[in-house]
């Protein structure tokens, strides 16, 4: 079978040099391993737990850097939007519009994203089942767009933990769209008293292997040269130097999945 695709990059656009380092490194690895690669970074963080957390370097600047990075390395680029009126402006710069999990039921947002004609990647809400994502798919199709991805990113499991239910891989594929496993955010530990979401990055390999084995079409992995100094999601991002050996294992696994 064909290989899985990879959506990867730093959580947020911090600087041009960061995008350059990550896109350059990951595109080289993916070329060697024959993994189709989509570059990802958020141009703005709209729903940080705490109002005092970093939210970005400016939307327009960040979107331009994303586009430039994609052009330089010949990569499709994705970022997340948070309100219906961000869809059209973002679509000028990026190829895949990602809908955050908390917002996956906002009809206006889904329709606005659909109407750009770009690929729309909807993350499954932590409060939704895979079968229920049919309704997100239907809203986008009804708006005339059939280029849809769905992403699993874990489900609420008590207040301070998420659990990945792998039944959602076949359940969401049954909607006729490719399914991505978000190996980063599904390991979040929400509702920490510190106001900073925690994580378990040493389990990324476990989450990714199970996804490939159960037939996921793509993986989403946030990566950073030095997660400890990252401006967002440092608790969950994979250290960039660990990405290549991980992908080698996953490619080997993929070939064994019938």
Note the residues at the interface with its own copies (CB under 8 A).
46-51, 55, 82-85, 102-103, 105-108, 125-129, 131-132, 134-135, 138-139, 142, 155-161, 163-167, 169-170, 190-191, 193, 195, 200, 203, 206-207, 209-210, 212-215, 249, 252-253, 255-258
DSSP-derived pairing of the beta strands 77-80 and 162-163:
unpaired
Contact partners, residue 213, CB within 8 Å, separation at least 6: 253, 257
Residue 63 beta carbon to its own copies: minimum distance, rounded to whole angstroms: 17
User: Which lies closer to its own copies via its Cβ, residue 36 or residue 213?
Assistant: 213
Q: DSSP assignment of 183-231, as one string?
A: TTGGG-B---TTSS-B--GGGHHHHHHHHHHTT-SEEEEEEES-GGG-S
Residue 93 beta carbon to its own copies: minimum distance, rounded to whole angstroms: 20
User: Which lies closer to its own copies via its Cβ, residue 25 or residue 156?
Assistant: 156
User: Which lies closer to its own copies via its Cβ, residue 72 or residue 209?
Assistant: 209
Contact partners, residue 3, CB within 8 Å, separation at least 6: 33, 34, 35, 36, 251, 254
User: Which lies closer to its own copies via its Cβ, residue 229 or residue 256?
Assistant: 256
User: Which lies closer to its own copies via its Cβ, residue 82 or residue 118?
Assistant: 82
Residue 135 beta carbon to its own copies: minimum distance, rounded to whole angstroms: 5
Residue 39 beta carbon to its own copies: minimum distance, rounded to whole angstroms: 25
DSSP class of 237:
P
Contact partners, residue 242, CB within 8 Å, separation at least 6: none
Residue 193 beta carbon to its own copies: minimum distance, rounded to whole angstroms: 6
Measure the CA–CA gap between 152 and 185, rounded to whole angstroms. Answer: 9
User: Which lies closer to its own copies via its Cβ, residue 28 or residue 167?
Assistant: 167
Q: Is 2 left (phi over 0), alpha (psi -120 to 50) or beta?
A: beta
Residue 74 beta carbon to its own copies: minimum distance, rounded to whole angstroms: 30
DSSP class of 130:
T
User: Which lies closer to its own copies via its Cβ, residue 57 or residue 210?
Assistant: 210
Helix or strand or coil: residue 34? coil
Alpha-helix runs per DSSP H in the chain: 16-33, 59-73, 87-91, 107-115, 134-142, 168-173, 204-213, 243-256
Residue 202 beta carbon to its own copies: minimum distance, rounded to whole angstroms: 9
């Amino acid at each position: 079978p064909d290989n899985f695709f990879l959506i990867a990059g730093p959580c947020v656009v911090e600087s041009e040099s960061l995008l350059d380092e990550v896109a350059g490194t990951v595109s080289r690895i993916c070329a060697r391993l024959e993994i189709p690669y989509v570059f990802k970074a958020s141009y703005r963080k709209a729903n940080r737990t705490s109002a005092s957390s970093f939210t970005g370097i400016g939307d327009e600047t960040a979107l331009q850097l994303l586009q430039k990075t994609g052009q330089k390395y010949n990569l499709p680029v994705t970022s997340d939007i948070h309100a219906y009126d961000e869809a059209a402006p973002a679509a000028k710069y990026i190829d895949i519009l990602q809908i955050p999990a908390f917002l996956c039921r906002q009809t206006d947002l889904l329709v606005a994203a659909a109407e750009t004609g770009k690929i729309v990647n909807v993350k499954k809400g932590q409060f939704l089942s895979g079968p229920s994502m049919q309704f997100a798919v239907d809203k986008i199709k009804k708006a005339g767009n059939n280029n849809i991805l769905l992403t699993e990113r874990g489900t609420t499991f008590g207040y301070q933990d998420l659990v990945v239910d792998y039944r959602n891989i076949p359940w969401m594929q049954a909607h006729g769209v490719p399914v991505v496993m978000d190996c980063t955010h599904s390991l979040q530990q929400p509702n920490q008293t510190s106001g900073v979401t925690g994580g378990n990055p040493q389990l990324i390999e476990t989450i990714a292997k199970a996804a490939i084995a159960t037939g996921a079409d793509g993986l989403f992995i946030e990566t950073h040269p030095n997660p400890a100094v990252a401006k967002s999601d440092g608790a969950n991002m994979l250290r960039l130097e660990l990405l290549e050996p991980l992908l080698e294992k996953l490619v080997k696994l993929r070939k064994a999945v019938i």
